[in-house]
Amino acid sequence: MLRWHQVKAGLVWLGLGIPLGLYGAAVIHRPSRDVTFRQPLFQGIVYSRRVAERPRPQVIHVIDVDLTVPGLTPFVTPGYEGADLSKYGVDRREVLARRTSEFLTEQGLQLAVNANFFYEFREVTPWNYYPHSGQPANLVGLAISDGEIVSKLNPNGPVLPSLCFGEQRAEMRGDGTCGSGTQQAIAGNLLLLEKGQPTETVQTQIAYEGNKPYPFTVAALDTSGTRLWLVLTDGKQPLYSEGTTLGEITELVQELGADTAMRLDGGGSTTAAIATPTGPSLLNSPAHGKIPGNERPVANHLGFFAQPLD
pLDDT digit string, tens, across residues 211-255 = 899 999 999 999 999 999 999 999 999 999 999 999 999 999 999
Res 245: pLDDT = 97
Q: How large a percentage of the chain has pLDDT more than 90?
A: 82
Say if 310 falls within a structural domain. no
Co-location of 140 and 16 in the same domain: no
* Mean pLDDT on 165-192: 96
Cβ pair 189, 249 in contact under 8 A? no
Residues 141, 11: one domain? no
The mean per-residue pLDDT over the stretch 160-183 comes to 96
Helical H segments across the chain, by residue range: 2-29, 100-107, 200-209, 246-256
Q: Identify the pLDDT of residue 206.
A: 95
C-alpha span between 160 and 214 (Å, rounded):
20
With b for 16 or more beta-carbon neighbours within 10 A and e for fewer, the 14-32 pattern comes to eeeeeeeeeeeebeeebbe
One domain, residues 212 and 92: yes
174 in the same domain as 83: yes
Q: How deeply is 12 buried, as exposed, middle or buried, from its count of CB atoms within 10 A (0-12, 13-18, 19+)?
A: exposed
Q: Across the beta sheet with 301-305, what order do the strands follow?
A: 73-76, 301-305, 111-114, 272-276, 279-282
pLDDT of 103 higher than 70: yes
Residue 1 and residue 133 in one domain = no
pLDDT of residue 18: 44
Judged by average pLDDT, the poorest of 19-33, 78-92, 181-195 is: 19-33
Q: Are 117 and 147 members of one domain?
A: yes
The span from the CA of 56 to the CA of 238, in Å, is 9
The number of domains in the chain is 2
At 20, the pLDDT band (50, 70, 90 cuts) reads very low
Contact status, residue 33 vs residue 240, Cβ threshold 8 Å: yes
Instruction: Identify whether residues 141 and 268 lie together within a single domain.
Output: yes
Residue 82 is assigned to a structural domain of this protein: yes
> Could you tell me the sign of the dihedral formed by the alpha carbons of 107, 113, 118, 120, in that order?
positive
**Least confident range of 3-17, 111-125, 126-140, 215-229:** 3-17
Please check whether residue 264 is in contact with residue 114, taking contact to mean a CB–CB distance below 8 angstroms. yes
Cβ atoms of 286 and 296 closer than 8 Å: yes
Does residue 210 sit in the same domain as residue 234?
Answer: yes
Same domain, 4 and 63: no
pLDDT at 305: 98
Residues 105 and 5 both lie in one domain:
no
Least confident of 24-33, 48-57, 118-127: 24-33
- Do 39 and 22 share a structural domain? no
Print the domain residue range for 14.
1-30
Q: Is residue 52 domain-shared with residue 21, that is, in the same domain?
A: no
Residue 97 lies in a domain: yes
* Average pLDDT over all residues of the chain: 92
pLDDT digits (tens, 9 = 90+) for 45-100: 999 999 999 999 999 999 999 999 999 999 999 999 988 877 777 888 999 999 99
